[in-house]
Amino acid sequence: MASTPVHGGTDSMAMPPYRALLVVDIKDFSGYPGRWHEDMTRAVPDILTGAFARSGWSESPSMERFSDTTGDGYVLGFEPSMLPLLVHPFLDNLQQELEYRNKVAPVAPAAADRTLRMRVSLHVGSTTDSGTNRLGDGSGAARIALHRQLDAAAVRHLLEESNPRTTLVAAILSSRAYEDAVLSGYSGLDDSLFVKAPVEVKTYRDEAYLYVPRPSGGLLHRGFRVPEVPAAPSRAAAEASTPSDRSRADLGQSGATRNISGIRNIGGISNVGGSVFGDNRPQTHVGIGDINTASGPIRTTRRDTHAPRGDQQIGPRTEHHGPEHYGQGHQFAAPLDRPNFGDSNFTQGSPTTAPDPGAVDEKGTSGVEGAHDD
């Protein structure tokens, strides 16, 4: 029945009648050789007729209003009173019909190693219906929702996660179809056999319900829902999980060897941008020059602090930066003209000006031998 204008000078129109809507789709239709596509398209109505016959209808249901091919599937419209029967026993009988066809009369002989499987979408809503099954019948928002459900990841997941030789039918029902046919009790199936799932296809958003007549494989182990992909952490969260400079410094206090952002710590001796040689005692150096310790040389051009038990030697300079020395070794503040002093050995360049043997520094000591700590 076509929609007709309502008298009264308004743009309102009578709503098209409600119809129970069914659409089926062959899984991986394009994966079959092209030479078999026509045969598969022609076989779909026959498969549906076989499933209807298994449901107790000797021929195509008398309540059918319109039908149309989709190329790799088929769409049908019925009187709304047929909706519970399309849920059960039709879906279970479609599974049985496909099992029979795959074993006895495969649609594509060249692809006999592949089983024919179908996705099914059920909905109920207002659609156009001329009563003559003409082009354009079944149009409307309900028809769009019917096909969006069929393309949902949730129903595709049902066939992808199951055994291809066992699970041949995966169905999705709109919320309205589920409420009218299942929750009402008219379909004869318990609502615990259905799993609620979101549908998000293009701009279409809704909740639907999944049903599988014969689940297998991953569906039994992991369930019907599509696994959720963890959201990528936000930039703020990533920065919060990154150790701060203070945290890196704290990590360097442990005795374990660690390398954090180029800072390597070995047994409490730390160095930035260079090599470190020494024992496990904290060693720092303030000034510009080289340090010799009891266990090896530390070369640095950084202003650090030095407090080991070794000696600190300051060679000939024209300026000084106030070095500090804490330790038990000798400190020399003047040029040296001999390679050793007591238990200390030195290697340095020749002074630019020969020292005066008779010169005495402010402390009353010879410039040749220098001065040392107490």
DSSP string covering 126-157: E----SS--TTTT-SHHHHHHHHHHT-HHHHH
Say what the pLDDT of residue 275 is.
Answer: 42
Say what the pLDDT of residue 107 is.
Answer: 76
pTM: 0.60
Q: Which domains does the chain have, with CATH numbers?
A: 18-222 (3.30.70.1230)
Q: Which residues of the chain have pLDDT under 70?
A: 1-9, 58-62, 108-113, 229-374
Say what the pLDDT of residue 144 is.
Answer: 95
d(CA 101, CA 96) in angstroms, rounded, equals 9
Say what the pLDDT of residue 10 is.
Answer: 74
Helix (H, G, I), strand (E, B), or coil: what is residue 237? Answer: helix
Beta strands of 56-106 (E only): which ranges?
64-69, 73-78
